[in-house]
Structure 1
Amino acid sequence: MFSREEHSRLRAAFWTQFGQLMKPFKSEEGKRINWTNYKTGVKSVFFRMDADKKKCGVGIYLTHKDPDIQQLIFEQFEEMKSYLHSVLEEEWEWELHTKNEMRQTISRIYIEKEGVNMFKPEDQADIYEFLKPRMLKLDEFWRDTKEIFVDLSK
């Protein structure tokens, strides 16, 4: 069991290493990008990665405070579901109006991999190989669809 400080240090090292792994990759628009803190450019739409002692995952998170607007954005993603899944080359989970760890209402489109532990060095390569292609494919999807969401969030 790790102390709080050790836990924070190991998490930071894990994400720093992932950032270094992703550094050579530019966005689909040819720009340098901070993959661990991906900026969609649309308020309340986030691409997030997570890893812990039991699993890792990546997803699209919708956090608009107004549940009706959040649902509208979610429905717009649903309209593009077949395109999203074709770019990702897999199907993801879809959740409208769930609660996050801070008890806020969010919606998310995500995929997780169970049975990996970010604190085990032997699992880290598997986690990185799970996250990397999915973030690159999300970026590809976003290049083609971002303007729809920019217009929707105005």
Structure 2
Amino acid sequence: MFSKEEAQRLKKEFWTAFAASNSRKWILYNTKIKDVTFKFYVDNKKAQVLLDIEPKNDKNRIVYYEKVESLKDLLLENHLPDAIFEREFHLSTGKVISRVWVEKTGLSMNNKEHWPEIFEFFSEKMEAFEYFFFEHEEYIKDLEINT
């Protein structure tokens, strides 16, 4: 078990090493759709690449999610065959968002031997997510186009 300071140091070291291993600039929060973001997540059990859809206006959240969901077959067949879709994902804060993600279990940020595998997973899956997003960006962004 790590102290709070050790855990923070390890977390900072992990993200610094990831940035150093991959010079690519990810879109993450720069999707140009308010409150629609790509994220990396890792803990002591799994690594995930996430597309979080969390506009404060629930109607917009559902429309954006349904647009992505309408492209589900394309995402699964051409980019991320293991993607998971959840219309109502409950965060630990109680907030409800929509989420599409991929994950790899059995990996721990606390184990430096896992880092190369996590970095490879992050890079491969985020690249596939971004490619999918760029292919369908105009459709996803436009709230006037029905699903």
Alignment of 1:95-134 (within 5 A): 95-134=86-125
Deviation of 1:37 (Å): 4.4
Deviation of 1:38 (Å): 4.7
Q: Distance in 1 between matches of 2:87 and 2:133?
A: 20
RMSD, aligned α-carbons: 1.8
Alignment TM-score, normalising by the size of structure 1: 0.85
Q: Give a deviation string over 1:90-120, Cα, whole Å, max 9, x none.
A: 1311111121122111010111111111111
3-state SS, counterpart of residue 126 of structure 2:
helix
Does residue 1:72 correspond to 2:69, yes or no? no
Aligned to 1:29: none
Could you tell which deviates more after superposition, 36-45 or 63-72?
Answer: 36-45
Does residue 1:63 correspond to 2:60, yes or no? no
For 1:148, which of 105, 120, 139 is the aligned residue?
Answer: 139
- The number of aligned residues is 144
Structure 2 spans left out of the alignment, 5+ residues = none
3-state SS, counterpart of residue 5 of structure 2:
helix
Aligned to 1:5: 5
3-state SS, counterpart of residue 57 of structure 1:
strand
- Whether the 8 Å contact between 1:65 and 1:105 is mirrored in structure 2 is no
Alignment TM-score, normalising by the size of structure 2: 0.89
Q: Give a deviation string over 1:113-137, Cα, whole Å, max 9, x none.
A: 1111111111111111211101111
Q: Distance in 2 between matches of 1:106 and 1:89?
A: 21
- Whether the 8 Å contact between 2:40 and 2:49 is mirrored in structure 1 is yes
Structure 1 spans left out of the alignment, 5+ residues = 26-32
